[in-house]
């Protein structure tokens, strides 16, 4: 009797751990609820694997598209990030007395 209780108590612990799930194979004498639990855990495991593969695929696709966009617009990005030396020259011209007198100030 005590041995049966110990065996029953140890089985749920094995099933709860997803890594041990692959080692435990239901037999004909398996409790139907344990078998259903095993099937659900197996399904969850497969869904998780599919999710991770899809996630990785989407991340790879994103990185590839990002690199293509960066290559395509590299010149414009450099122009935008570069220090704006031409506008500084214009601002110096704007501060000269000629333009301020034409404004009537």
- How far is residue 64's CA from residue 71's CA, in Å, rounded to a whole number? 11
For residue 9, is pLDDT > 60?
no
Q: Tell me the three state secondary structure of residue 10.
A: helix
Contact 5, 32 (CB under 8 A): no
For residue 14, is pLDDT > 80?
no
pLDDT of amino acid 15: 47
For residue 11, is pLDDT > 80?
no
- How far is residue 67's CA from residue 48's CA, in Å, rounded to a whole number? 29
């Amino acid at each position: 009797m005590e041995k049966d209780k110990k065996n029953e108590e140890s089985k749920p612990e094995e099933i709860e751990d997803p890594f041990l799930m692959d080692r435990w194979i239901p037999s004909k004498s398996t409790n139907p609820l344990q078998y259903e639990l095993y099937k659900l855990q197996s399904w969850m495991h497969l869904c998780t694997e599919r999710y991770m593969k899809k996630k990785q695929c989407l991340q790879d696709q994103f990185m590839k598209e990002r690199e293509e966009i960066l290559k395509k617009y590299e010149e414009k990005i450099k122009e935008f990030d570069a220090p704006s030396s031409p506008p500084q020259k214009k601002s110096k011209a704007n501060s000269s007395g000629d333009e301020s007198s034409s404004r009537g100030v």
